[in-house]
Amino acid sequence: MGRLSGRSCIVTGAARGIGRAIGEALVSEGADVCFADINGEQVERVAADSHTISNTNGAMVTWAAVDVTDRQQVQDMIGKAVSAFGKLDVKFNNAGVNKPMNFLDVTEDNWNFIMGVNGLGCMIGMQEAAKQMISQGTGGKIVNTASIASRQGFGNVAPYCASKWAVVSLTQSGARDLAPHNITVTGFAPGVVATEMWEQVDQDLMAIGAAERPGQAMEEFSAEILKGRVAKPHDITGTTNFLASKDSDYMTGQIVMIDGGMTLV
Ligand code: NAD
């Protein structure tokens, strides 16, 4: 039996990167996990790989193709998880996108795309998870992925920063509005995490002349990290398992920084 045995969880953005690591860490502790992502083929493979862990500890695993900005698809994803596991205890709203642009060039499309997935997607995910938890009468936990970009504005990613400040606001407002239903809302804010997201970000930064080569932005950030290196996805999962567990039951409305000491304000 793991620390999270019997806990039913959904993780969005779980086809790769931080979301995949969150899901795998939950399964390792015995939780039942629905891996969900807009990339259905990839997330199905990730869930299948997780069976190698779940076969040893009895955790159940399923997957769902979902666009987090589409309420019907979010409802279907929750329905799939509930029919597989019987209930929903913990919902991770982790799916996120970034597309760097010079501030003066930011278009409505760029703004709507980023705010749509990171902001609206988070809110719909919170609402639908909460409705399910309320109907169960069990309470539950909602955990949102924020960012160091929800503490300060960075250059060339204004809509991304705005969207991650929105995640903090949704976490705080949701914590207040859902407390009467015994639902806690927390979040965590990674610093710089080496994931595939950075490959596209590097390309975009080079395209607008904000970087000369791949990896440059990460190197520049590294100089500001007290731990002396950027994070790997599994540097995040001790905290996410804690936020999914009963050990964090008295926390709500808070964002945990996991940034290697990059932001000390
Ligand atoms: P990633 O790009 O590697 O993975 C994101 C996943 O989200 C992908 O599998 C993608 O298919 C999925 N996704 C995108 N749009 C979606 C949608 N509309 N519906 C469902 N799924 C969708 O990114 P990552 O680095 O693993 O980041 C995960 C989260 O962590 C994001 O919210 C990101 O903003 C945040 N974050 C990342 C870093 C970092 O340095 N990598 C730092 C701080 C915060």
- Per residue in 62-72, pLDDT tens? 999 999 999 99
Compute the mean pLDDT over every residue in the chain, rounded to the nearest whole number.
Answer: 96
Question: Is pLDDT at 151 greater than 80 in this prediction?
Answer: yes
Give yes or no for residue 85 having a pLDDT over 90. Answer: yes
Instruction: Please tell me the distance between residue 96's alpha carbon and the centre of ligand 1 in angstroms.
Output: 4
Mean of pLDDT values over 161-189: 98
Cβ–ligand 1 distance for 43 under 6 Å, the answer no
For residue 14, report the distance from its CA to the centre of ligand 1, in Å. 8
Q: What is the pLDDT of residue 136?
A: 97
Q: Name residue 232's amino acid.
A: K
Alpha carbon of 224 to ligand 1 centroid (Å)? 23
pLDDT of residue 265: 52
First and final C-alpha spacing in the chain: 40
Q: In the structure, what pLDDT confidence band is assigned to residue 110 with cuts at 50, 70 and 90? A: very high
**Which residue bears the tokens 């980023």?**
114
Provide the whole-model pTM.
0.98
Atom of ligand 1 nearest to the CA of 196: 3
For residues 191-204, give the mean pLDDT.
Answer: 95
Distance of CA 182 from the midpoint of ligand 1 (Å): 28
Token pair belonging to 4: 């999270």
Whether 250 is a known active-site residue: answer no
% of the chain surpassing 90 pLDDT: 92
Q: Whose CA is closest to atom 7 on ligand 1?
A: 13
Among the listed residues 92, 160, 165, 198, the single catalytic one is: 160
Contact 193 CB / ligand 1 (< 6 Å)? yes
| 1 pLDDT more than 80 | no
Name the residue of 10, 20, 37, 120 whose CB sits within 8 Å of the most ligand 1 atoms, as the mutation to test its pocket. 37
Q: Per the structure block, which two tokens stand in for 220?
A: 């520049």
Helix axes 121-136, 71-85, angle to 10 degrees: 40
Average pLDDT over residues 154-180: 98
pLDDT at residue 260 above 90?
yes
b/e code 74-91 from CB counts within 10 Å (16+ = b) = beebbebbbebbebbbbb
pLDDT for 116 equals 98
| pLDDT score of 102 | 96
In this prediction, residues 96-120 reach a mean pLDDT of 98
Out of 70, 163, 197, mutate this one to test ligand 1's pocket (max ligand atoms within 8 Å of CB): namely 197
pLDDT digits (tens, 9 = 90+) for 15-56: 999 999 999 999 999 999 999 999 999 999 999 999 888 888
Mutate to test the pocket of ligand 1, among 10, 18, 76 (most ligand atoms within 8 A of CB): 18
Looking at the predicted structure, is the pLDDT value of residue 149 above 90? yes
What is the rounded radius of gyration, in angstroms, for the C-alpha atoms of the chain? 18
Average pLDDT on 192-207 reads 95
